[in-house]
Amino acid sequence: MEKQQIKNFWRHFKKNRLGVGGLVIIVIVFFIAIFASFLSPYDYGKTDVSLKLKSPSFQHYLGTDQLGRDVFSRMLYGSQISLSVGFVAVGISILIGILVGAMAGYKGGWVDSLLMRFVDIMLSFPSFFLILTVVAILRPNIYNVMIVIGITSWEGTARFVRAEFLSLRERDYVQAARALGVKDRRIIFRHILPNALAPVFVTASLGVASAILIEAGLSFLGFGVQPPAPSWGNILTEGRTYIFDAWWLTVFPGLAILITVLSFNLFGEGLRDAIDPRLRGRR
């Protein structure tokens, strides 16, 4: 993006109050995740059975769990895992989606047909159950969760990039580059791809929210991040047994997931509206 384009984008984006609000909350969550070790009043793994299931207080802001661990400290460290899973998984999916979509859209013909049929096959599988199956076969840990979510959620990006490439490859500047003998790789990555990334940014922001939800679901079912490492999903899992006796074990991680996912979705919607000129008049 050029400097003027960035200014135009920000001028339109800041008009969307929900999008700006989502961005502010995302920045706050990032701050919490980065400085979790400084903000945490206790070691997230420290147990004290004498303090088990204590309700929120000035000593333990969000109460304690069944092992006497401080829920506030575990929530802070859990934000690191949730954001790490979200961004690494989306990074993998975006990379695969761009490569597949760019190849299909630029080459066309049988290459396009073959790759798009493969995308259709991937889309025919229920994604969560596919992820659940693969993670169940592999050893469940944070790295496997990141990789599996990433390699099973690239199809939407591939379709967006393909559509942009099909349009952009017929532009005059691309035809001129071909006439000058510029190699396909340079045309793809230097001339077409930078102009095709706008929908990818929107997909990425929404994809982070989806990845956080999937990780929370996997951890809740016991196939995600394994204890004693804290994640919002496994904190929920540990709290469901005590849902009537210790409400804070489910309410606070549930709210964290809700607010974070909602913020990424609102930011993604605001990003889409600011990037797409056709949607600006609706605000």
User: Across residues 54-59, what is the average pLDDT?
Assistant: 90
Structure confidence at residue 2 as a pLDDT band (50, 70, 90): low
Instruction: Report the alpha-carbon distance of residue 49 to residue 12 in Å, rounded.
Output: 53
pLDDT for res 276 = 65
What is the pLDDT at residue 275?
A: 76
Tell me the C-alpha to C-alpha distance, in Å, between residue 266 and each of 26, 69, 206, 209, 274. Answer: 10, 33, 9, 10, 12
List the one residue out of 69, 77, 65, 80 whose CA is nearest residue 40: 77
Alpha carbon distance 50, 66 (integer Å):
10
Cα–Cα distances (Å) from 268 to 20, 56, 163, in that order, read 10, 34, 20
Chain centroid to CA 7: how far? 26
The pLDDT assigned to 180 comes to: 81
Say whether pLDDT at 74 is over 60: yes
Give Cα 38 to chain centroid, integer Å.
Answer: 25
Domains and CATH numbers, the chain: 8-41+71-282 (1.10.3720.10)
Q: How far is CA 280 from CA 43, 198, 228, 267, in A?
A: 48, 15, 47, 15
**Is residue 49 exposed (0-12), middle (13-18) or buried (19+ Cβ within 10 Å)?**
exposed
- pLDDT tens-place string over residues 211-269: 888 888 888 787 877 778 888 888 888 888 888 888 898 899 999 999 999 999 999 88
pLDDT, greater one: 198 or 26: 26
Alpha-carbon distance of 86 to 146, in angstroms, equals 8
Q: Tell me the average pLDDT of the chain.
A: 85
Any alpha helices (H) in 138-197, and if so which ranges? 142-151, 155-168, 172-179, 184-186
Alpha-carbon distance of 282 to 134, in angstroms, equals 42
What is this structure's pTM?
0.84
